[in-house]
Amino acid sequence: MLTRPVVVGVDSSTQSTKTVVTDAGTGRVLAVGRAGHTVTGEAGTRESDPESWWDALGTSLRGALATSGVSPADVAGIAVAGQQHGLVVLDAAGRPLRPALLWNDTRSAPQAAALTRALGGPAAWLERTGSAPVASMTAAKWQWLREHEPATADRAAAVRLPHDFLTERLAGVAATDPGDASGTCWYSTRTGAYDPALLDLIGLDPALLPAVARSGAERVGSLTATAAGFLGLRPGIPVAAGTGDNMAAAVGLGLGETGLLDHPVLSLGTSGTVFAATRTRPAAAGLAGFAAADGTYLPLGCTLNCTLAIDRIASLLGLDRDDAEPGGETVLLPYLDGERSPDLPGASGLLTGLRHATTPRQILGAAYEGAVFTLLRVLDDLFTATGADPHAPAVRERPLRLIGGGARGHTWIETVRRLSGRPLVLPEGEELVAVGAAALAAGAAWGDDPVKVATAWGAGRGKELPARERDTATWLRVGTALDAYRETMPTG
């Protein structure tokens, strides 16, 4: 029996859409619907048709409703969390002019480097936006579009992020939130608004952009009759501003309650991310100084190559993804799609240290070690940027929350334990991005604090694993190989 009406949270990620129907009183996920996306491109190109995201939202939501046993009349609100940074350009009718350039499209690396120089270097960007341009950032993608497809840029009647596009389809209102906007490099985390000087620098008319809500939980509109008919819901229910996927995961975990770096998170998905909530505005080289969805901040580091890269290497070796063992002398940096952290967009995978006795299982294990090392080094940078010594005992004793698809994999878990030497928490809640979006929907419906809602739901609680002795030999071996590799590669 429902203790309160239900809310719907949507996670529109790179590869698929996941939609949860959630009891707003208890946080119990009543049903999950899923639908895949098509990503096209090679050699740095990554694109998707935004219309496919809308279709996937409809398919996943209708499927979830059908299996939940919930009447559409019981749905009290909806919110979307989406993959960050993607560039969506629309015509005057709200239709895409071209496929969206996704966050992991690295063609805009030269534009990112040029923009960095144009403002006087990374420090100038960090002071304004909290982040310096890399190929992932939307400003670099817009600049790429202006240079390579000027006719399309000139025809653009609206510029959106992926979650903005879907929110507008739901409510008929052009709106975004501070969290996702902070990943564009044209929004200032210092002023809490679009930065006119940066918009001038990239030639972007602010009239093309959505309004920025106060938070991801703000009600920005109501579900239109057209959208309601497509989705199988009743029109008029509240639509929240929504946010980016990382910000929604933070809400789902209950981050932001204390404003302290007590709960650093490693997210193992197509990409790998590390983040933590803080009330101090971050601005550090090598990190994205994002705003969060709830008024706090979310310093974040992102690596392009995580579970997808490891699965590809397992496939090349003819192994199951968990058929791995420690790499021994072997080092494999699985930078199959270039890399963001470190900023090596032109990088490819590096394999070194092979011997006659090296086994395929060791090569696969070395790939895991390379991916995990890269993430953990970014985590150390995050602690340093927020004034904490990553090697101090009090800091090293803080448990890492491990989320994402990789958090269900034995080899991922054990590799993180071995290379971090930290205790882990494996949250019980599934689909944390979508659950975080559901908490934002609750905020739009009843004015609730979404972080407090998610904390009460308990999705961030889970199994605790004690620390293991750190494998410092592997840590040093991979670090030495990475540092040497960086010396051979141009950045930006």
d(CA 5, CA 170): 19
What confidence tier does 272 reach under pLDDT thresholds 50, 70, 90? very high
d(CA 235, CA 114): 46
* pLDDT of amino acid 1: 46
Model pLDDT for residues 227-239, shown as the tens digit of each residue: 999 999 999 999 9
- Which of 128-142, 278-292, 313-327 shows the lowest per-residue confidence on average (mean pLDDT)? 278-292
d(CA 176, CA 244): 9
* pLDDT of amino acid 381: 86
* pLDDT of amino acid 312: 97
pLDDT above 50 (res 38)? yes
Query: Which two three-digit tokens encode residue 194?
Result: 């679009």
* pLDDT of amino acid 262: 56
Model pLDDT for residues 90-118, shown as the tens digit of each residue: 999 999 999 999 998 999 999 999 999 99
Average pLDDT for 350-354: 96
Gap between the terminal Cα atoms of the chain: 55
* Bridging pattern class, strands 75-82 and 243-244: parallel
Model pLDDT for residues 403-454, shown as the tens digit of each residue: 988 999 999 999 999 999 999 999 988 899 999 999 999 999 999 999 999 9
Average pLDDT for 34-48: 93
pLDDT above 50 (res 259)? no
Average pLDDT for 276-281: 84
Model pLDDT for residues 154-191, shown as the tens digit of each residue: 999 999 999 999 999 999 999 999 999 999 999 999 99
Q: What mean pLDDT, rounded, does the chain reach?
A: 93
pLDDT above 90 (res 382)? no
Model pLDDT for residues 113-157, shown as the tens digit of each residue: 999 999 999 999 999 999 999 999 999 999 999 999 999 999 999
Q: How many CA atoms lie within 13 A of 178 on its CB side?
A: 23
- Concatenating the DSSP letter of every residue in 112-149 gives HHHHHHHTTSHHHHHHHHSS---TTSHHHHHHHHHHH-
In order of 91, 186, 381, 386, 433, the CA distances from 283 in angstroms are 35, 15, 12, 9, 25
Query: Which two three-digit tokens encode residue 424?
Result: 């882990």
* pLDDT of amino acid 393: 83
d(CA 480, CA 88): 40
What letter does residue 262 receive in the DSSP assignment? T
Query: Which two three-digit tokens encode residue 361?
Result: 């299982």
* pLDDT of amino acid 258: 53
Q: Active-site residue numbers? A: 245
Of 489, 492, 387, nearest to 132 (Cα)? 492
37 close to 53: Cβ distance less than 8 angstroms? yes
Residue 15: partners with Cβ closer than 8 Å, 6 or more residues away: 36, 37, 39, 270
* pLDDT of amino acid 260: 47
**Which residues, listed in sequence order, are joined to residue 87 by a DSSP beta bridge?**
101
Packed helices 472-488 and 410-420: angle between N→C axes, nearest 10 degrees: 90
* pLDDT of amino acid 491: 57
Query: Which two three-digit tokens encode residue 458?
Result: 């308990």
For the chain, what are the domain ranges?
Answer: 6-246
Which SS3 state, helix, strand or coil, does residue 174 take? coil
**Which residues, listed in sequence order, are joined to residue 79 by a DSSP beta bridge?**
9
pLDDT above 70 (res 325)? yes
87 close to 141: Cβ distance less than 8 angstroms? yes
Ramachandran angles phi, psi of 402, nearest 5°: -110, 120
Q: Which CATH superfamily is domain 6-246 in?
A: ATPase, nucleotide binding domain (3.30.420.40)
Top-confidence residue, 287 or 53: 53
